[in-house]
Amino acid sequence: MLYQPKAKKKRRFSAVYDWLGTLIVSIIAVIIILTFFFRIVVVDGSSMMDTLQHRDVLVMRQFNYKPEVGDIVIISRNYENDVLYQETSAKSVIIKRIIAVGGQTVDIDTEAGIVYVDGEAIDEPYIKDPTTVNRGTEYPLYVEEGKVFVMGDNRLVSLDSRSSEVGLIDSKYILGKAIIRLFPISKVGSIY
């Protein structure tokens, strides 16, 4: 039997080289996916309670997203300056639920705590408290095309489209839709 240490070393080097190549390709694929298709976002504050809690970690879908009523969306916090930042840190974004899209009319009866879209009361099992606070907007309010009306699920504390500070949000400032909660581990899953 012949001793062939070089062949054995070559096989070992080849296996390590293949493993490193696979690892590098995998890392590049994850970076591309997280850059162009999905992003991680951390909830900052209590405006989406009880649906989302402070410090929940979410996955946001951003590729080919079209705003729809009921979606929980991540919005660039710099909409008032007409400067769009793609940053998704807790300080650079707000997280709200879309109540109405362009072409719809919103009305809020703060005495009864009911929100109407196009004259029909909407079912909101996700809200913490009824919508009894108006932040200065006059109703009914027509939502212009290309814009959305958003509110937090914690209606008593949420600063949202009811306020002139936020107002209607231009769709171009919606960075994406929250689709999955990653943390806390006990609540991992889809978001509604």
pLDDT in tens, 90-131: 467 899 999 999 999 999 999 999 999 999 999 999 998 999
Is the pLDDT score of 26 beyond 60?
yes
Q: Tokens standing for 106?
A: 């919103």
Task: Give the C-alpha distances (Å, rounded to integers) separating 145 from 51, 104, 105, 131.
Answer: 28, 9, 11, 25
Please check whether residues 158 and 65 belong to one and the same domain.
yes
Alpha helix stretches (DSSP H) within 37-162: none
Q: Containing domain of residue 10, as a range? A: 1-36
Please check whether residues 23 and 88 belong to one and the same domain.
no
Q: Tokens standing for 136?
A: 């200065």
Please check whether residues 25 and 94 belong to one and the same domain.
no
Task: Give the C-alpha distances (Å, rounded to integers) separating 141 from 102, 124, 136, 170.
Answer: 11, 19, 12, 15
Please check whether residues 84 and 20 belong to one and the same domain.
no
Between the CA atoms of 59, 89, 49 and 162, what dihedral angle is there, to the nearest 10 degrees? -110
Q: What is the pLDDT of residue 38?
A: 75
Whichever domain contains 92, its CATH number is 2.10.109.10
| Entry pTM | 0.77
Task: Give the C-alpha distances (Å, rounded to integers) separating 45 from 83, 87, 106, 186.
Answer: 23, 18, 25, 20
Give the H/E segment covering residue 21.
helix 5-36
Residue at 189 is within a domain: no
